[in-house]
Homo-oligomer: A and B are copies of this chain.
Amino acid sequence: MLPRFFLPSSDPTGRGALPDDEATHLTRVLRLGVGAAIEVFDGRGGIWTAEVAEVSRHHAAVQLGAPVPAPAEPRVRLHLVVAALKGDKLDDVVRDAAMVGVHNIQVVVTQRSEVSLAALRRSGRADRWRRIAVASLKQCGRAVLPTVHAPVTLTQWAETAPTGLRLVMCEPAAGAGRRISEVPREDEVTLLVGPEGGWTPDELAMLSGMGGVAVQCGGLTLRADAAPLVGVSALCEGWQVW
């Protein structure tokens, strides 16, 4: 497999400069030179073979070649709303979500999140997650970069949340939920996953009031950082969308 790079835009002749992180990866990590064969993706579904056209210490320009067929996206638009978790755990969540076809990733601070919105913003987490999403696409071969939104509180999310089907992953302790494949499939779905301590009763009531459907993946308490991957995998297989 050719090394892959993210090239968000190119000029009409098919030439473009890699973003800084990508140029560094090409020149400093992989040490590729002019003429090296690579593959680039634009994050919007386009993939091309390409050739390194120009390199300097922190800069790399590439020339697009032929388009490459892109792997199919899931046949439903998947929005993931995931509670802020402790430490770096969301790094893995974002990486995995990008890998299994999630379109939008929204981190929300919930009542039981052990990290504040201010701390997330101060540490520039959203930018970090965007870089992780790019890295994940380079690995998994996906052509569509998920949008990683700036973190908000769950309440803020609820005020502007798009309508449509919402599946709320619940711990077994919170009462019985439906199996995801028992819920009729729609073209667009938001999957909500709580923090380490789960949703509070208030939050569950609010989400239920918004039409949220409680769902479960088995009767065990899933680790908060593994639950999104379990939920999306179950959804994609249960609804036969991958």
A residues neighboring B (CB under 8 Å): 1, 71-72, 74, 95-96, 99-101, 139-142, 172-173, 179-181, 217-223, 226, 229-231, 233-238, 240, 242
A194 to chain B, nearest CB (A): 15
* CB-nearest residue of chain B to A140: B220
B226/A141 in contact, CB under 8 A? no
* CB-nearest residue of chain B to A230: B233
A223/B139 in contact, CB under 8 A? yes
Q: What separation, in Å, do the CA atoms of A45 and B240 have in the docked complex? A: 33
A187 to chain B, nearest CB (A): 17
A142 to chain B, nearest CB (A): 5
A103 to chain B, nearest CB (A): 14
Q: What separation, in Å, do the CA atoms of A45 and B71 have in the docked complex? A: 43
Given contacts A141-B172, A172-B141, A233-B230, whether A219 and B71 have CB atoms under 8 Å apart is yes
User: CB-CB < 8 A to A219: which residues of B?
Assistant: 71-72, 141, 242
Q: What separation, in Å, do the CA atoms of A223 and B100 have in the docked complex? A: 10
A100/B220 in contact, CB under 8 A? yes
A78 to chain B, nearest CB (A): 12
Given contacts A226-B96, A230-B229, whether A237 and B220 have CB atoms under 8 Å apart is no
B179/A220 in contact, CB under 8 A? no
User: CB-CB < 8 A to A223: which residues of B?
Assistant: 95-96, 99, 139-140
- Closest A-B pairs by Cβ, 8 of them: A218-B242, A234-B237, A71-B219, A233-B233, A237-B238, A140-B220, A230-B233, A140-B221
Q: What are some 18 contacts across the A-B interface (CB < 8 A)?
A: A71-B219, A71-B220, A95-B223, A99-B222, A99-B226, A100-B230, A101-B218, A139-B223, A140-B222, A179-B242, A180-B237, A217-B236, A219-B242, A229-B229, A229-B230, A233-B237, A234-B236, A238-B238
